[in-house]
C-alpha cells in the first residue's frame, strides 16, 4: 500500500500521486500597454478556472494574480518538503508554454 501524499486545502488525501497547482500570472506591462485583458476567470472556492468562455479546468491548488511567492510555497510546496523529510519522494516542476508564467511562479518576479 502506497503512503498518502499531503492533501490540498479542504480536500481529503487521495491515492493520486499527482497534484496540480495553477498560478495565474498578472499581465505583463507590455500586455497592459497594448490594452490586453486576462482570458482567465477563476473560481477559487471550487479550485477551478475557465480559459476563454468554455474551457474549464479543475486543480488541487489555485493561486490568483495577487498571491505572493510565500503563499504558493506555504500551501503547495512546504507540505511536500516535510513529507520528503519523512521519507516520501517529492517533485515540484513548472510546466507551460513560453510566456505562461513559469519564471514568475518559481523564480523571482522581476517584471
Which pairs from 51-59 meet CB under 8 Å and 24+ separation? 57/22, 59/20, 59/21, 59/22
Q: Read off the pLDDT of residues 14-57 as tens digits, 9 standing for 90 and up.
A: 557 889 999 888 888 999 999 999 999 999 889 999 999 999 99
pLDDT > 90 fraction of the chain, expressed in percent and rounded = 44
pTM exceeding 0.85: no
* Distance of alpha carbon 98 from alpha carbon 33, whole angstroms: 20
For 77-101, what is each residue's pLDDT tens digit?
A: 999 999 999 999 999 888 888 877 7
Query: pLDDT tens digits for 56-73?
Result: 999 999 999 888 888 988
Amino acid at each position: 500500500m502506497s503512503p498518502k501524499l499531503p492533501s490540498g486545502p479542504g480536500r481529503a488525501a487521495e491515492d493520486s500521486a499527482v497534484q496540480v497547482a495553477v498560478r495565474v500570472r498578472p499581465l505583463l506591462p507590455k500586455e497592459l500597454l497594448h490594452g490586453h485583458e486576462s482570458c482567465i476567470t477563476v473560481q477559487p472556492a471550487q479550485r477551478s478556472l475557465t480559459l476563454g468562455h468554455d474551457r474549464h479546468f479543475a486543480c488541487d491548488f489555485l493561486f490568483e494574480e495577487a498571491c505572493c511567492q510565500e503563499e504558493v510555497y506555504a500551501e503547495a510546496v512546504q507540505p511536500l518538503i516535510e513529507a520528503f523529510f519523512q521519507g516520501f519522494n517529492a517533485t515540484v516542476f513548472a510546466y507551460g508554454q513560453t510566456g505562461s508564467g513559469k519564471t514568475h511562479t518559481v523564480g523571482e518576479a522581476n517584471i
